[in-house]
Structure 1
Amino acid sequence: MGQLENLSLTIRPIHDVKEFVEVSELEKIIWQSDDPVPVAHAVTSVDNGGMVIGAFLDDKIIGFQYSFAGFNGINTYLCSYLLGVHPEYRISGIGEQLKLAQCKEALKIGYDLVTWTYDPLETVNANLNIKKLGGVCSTYKENYYGEMEDSLNSGIPSDRFYVDWWIQSDHVKDKVDRVYGKLPKYQEDMAVIRVKERENEYPVPEEVNTNLTVDYEILFVPVPGEFQKIKEEDFALALEWRLQTRKVFTHYFKVGWQVSDFIRSEREENFSPVYYYVLTKKRLGQN
């Protein structure tokens, strides 16, 4: 992990063309791609309701967030397209700082909604997007980007959560301020997927239940905590997790449930980690 001690980290909006070029070069490092967002596109987006925010370490850019203006026929919102941090600094909390800076700048412009997508089986992203930032989700996109060839996505359908971040809501303000209240406690009878956990092995999704819609106000959807490792070592199991979670999310979203929180299982250390999305009937977010 990159060390930030004794160095000056600055997070601020970017407007200079030279710095847009630096963002483009950083994209190539992060995603090992020669097809970053065109500089002219970023410049035009910033001039028309979008933003690019950079994280600078002693004047060297090590992270960025890129957003553009969106409209769905009803609401105007900020569409958060890319967030990337240099590989040497990925667990330094810079991603969260970039999102909080994005929130601050979006409020200045007048937005109350920010949206983005992410893979629901990537639990590091879920912990940030849902638990820490207070994003909510009731839309599931199957194979949203089609077949992707990068190391994180290759071979697996590119399913995505579509996150709504209602940045003026009490729900988001509480999450950002770490006012979590009483956290939901996992109960097995409220889990829509039963998980088989073998010691020192990865969890396996077994029984799927799409009928838990009457008796409960809260449901739990388990996901494995090491999806990329599972994909490397047991591709069939990774695909099974994708298809089983797709089945339950698409069903429960369709009948009115919403992802509103994210918690970790209380398990012994010799079990592979399991996390739980919390589904509620109460619509959290927009006040």
Structure 2
Amino acid sequence: MPAEPPQIIIQELTTYSELMDVQRLENLIWNEPPIPLHQTFTSIQNGGLILGAYINETLVGFSYGFAGFKNGKSYLCSHILGIHPEHQEKGIGARLKEVQRQKSLELGYSMMTWTYDPLESRNGYFNLSKLHAICRTYVENCYGDMMDALNSGLPSDRFKVEWWFNSPFIKEKQQIDVRNEKSPFQIEIIEKGLPKLMDVTSTLERILKNRTIEQILVPVPINFQQLKKEDFELALDWRLKSREILQTLFDNGYVAVAVKKKNKENVVNDYVLVKEDLIQEPRVF
């Protein structure tokens, strides 16, 4: 008989010893200096939250969030989530997020926020379509020049998502009907079968002239890291053109609520953007 999958235990981390284990895991995952202990320890004493995922009493994943406050609203800012390379693709990240949500509610928060690269459509699907977060804030070059393998050479643009725990819209938005079968933005397949965005500015002008459009599909590469490896200039082109699209649409009252996955033979997925008046929660950012 096949062996039982290992049990994953999620628990809150509060001691120096546990936080030192987090530092060691950070080094293993990213090969960069970890967050200082004095910072993480102070954070958890003042509204922050660090969770650890254990398999056979070994730390294999963690999430770190600290207290945030802006425009009269308090929230948990989920800063880092990391999984040991040997234990990815096991649902540990989703488990950590769910416990993070439960613990955040116990701490008195009604919203959590974090950032991710909008060109990473896999992350977008997890954050928006699976967790039912939303995004209406695009942060240009959020972390400045980053030198790690995933970000080196490109502006570190980020989506700043909002995860409203009790929002009726967010609880029910998995029922959204993706009426648009095709994105208005044109894709051309170039060398090596890679996708390139075309006519972005003129397409945006046509969209904004028609104020009745309630839903827009915005393409994003299925595998941005592979595209970047094969054609760096094309990756930069995607960064700048998608920035123009998403910033413009957010500024004109649209909000990203899901990622529509395509078939495997396609080279792009689509963000689903709807009118912001469907969102019942106030703007914080």
Give the TM-score, by structure 1 length: 0.90
Deviations 1:151-173 (CA, angstroms, capped at 9, x unpaired): 00000110000111111112443
Do structure 1's residue 246 and structure 2's residue 238 form an aligned pair? no
Q: How do 1:57-76 residues align onto structure 2 when only pairs under 5 Å count?
A: 57-76=55-74
Mark the CA change 1:132 to 1:271 in structure 2 (over 3 Å): closer, same or farther: closer
Deviations 1:104-124 (CA, angstroms, capped at 9, x unpaired): 000011100111111001112
Which amino acid counterpart does residue 277 of structure 1 have in structure 2? Y
Q: How do 1:46-85 residues align onto structure 2 when only pairs under 5 Å count?
A: 46-85=44-83
Mark the CA change 1:270 to 1:73 in structure 2 (over 3 Å): closer, same or farther: closer
Do structure 1's residue 233 and structure 2's residue 227 form an aligned pair? no
The answer to whether the 8 A contact 2:46-2:67 is kept is yes
Question: Equivalents in 1 of 2:56, 2:168: separation in Å?
Answer: 35
- Specify the alignment match of 2:278 in structure 1: 283
Question: Equivalents in 2 of 1:204, 1:229: separation in Å?
Answer: 14
SS at match of 1:210: helix
Which amino acid counterpart does residue 77 of structure 1 have in structure 2? Y
Mark the CA change 1:16 to 1:130 in structure 2 (over 3 Å): closer, same or farther: same
SS at match of 1:139: strand
- Tell me how far 1:193 sits from its aligned partner: 2.1
- Specify the alignment match of 1:161 in structure 2: 159
- Tell me how far 1:186 sits from its aligned partner: 3.8
- Specify the alignment match of 2:140 in structure 1: 142
Note the residue ranges of structure 2 that are not aligned, 5 or more in a row: none
Deviations 1:206-226 (CA, angstroms, capped at 9, x unpaired): 121113131311001000011
Question: Equivalents in 2 of 1:103, 1:117: separation in Å?
Answer: 16
Question: Equivalents in 1 of 2:127, 2:31: separation in Å?
Answer: 24
Q: How do 1:30-45 residues align onto structure 2 when only pairs under 5 Å count?
A: 30-33=29-32, 35-45=33-43
Match of 1:90 among 88, 91, 95: 88
Deviations 1:54-96 (CA, angstroms, capped at 9, x unpaired): 1000110000000000111321111010001011112111111
Deviations 1:4-36 (CA, angstroms, capped at 9, x unpaired): 944221011111211110001100111111x11
Which amino acid counterpart does residue 46 of structure 2 have in structure 1? N
SS at match of 1:106: helix
- Tell me how far 1:203 sits from its aligned partner: 1.4
- Specify the alignment match of 2:254 in structure 1: 257
Q: How do 1:196-207 residues align onto structure 2 when only pairs under 5 Å count?
A: 196-197=188-189, 201-207=193-199
SS at match of 1:99: helix
Match of 2:120 among 119, 122, 144: 122
Question: Equivalents in 2 of 1:156, 1:4: separation in Å?
Answer: 43
The answer to whether the 8 A contact 2:121-2:259 is kept is no
- Tell me how far 1:199 sits from its aligned partner: 9.4
Which amino acid counterpart does residue 244 of structure 2 have in structure 1? K
Mark the CA change 1:265 to 1:207 in structure 2 (over 3 Å): closer, same or farther: farther
SS at match of 1:44: helix
- Specify the alignment match of 1:27 in structure 2: 26
Which amino acid counterpart does residue 195 of structure 1 have in structure 2? I
The answer to whether the 8 A contact 1:28-1:36 is kept is yes
Do structure 1's residue 216 and structure 2's residue 216 form an aligned pair? no
Deviations 1:175-219 (CA, angstroms, capped at 9, x unpaired): 6xxxx225414433xx34211236961211112111313131100
SS at match of 1:157: coil
Aligned identity (percent) is: 39
The answer to whether the 8 A contact 1:186-1:265 is kept is no
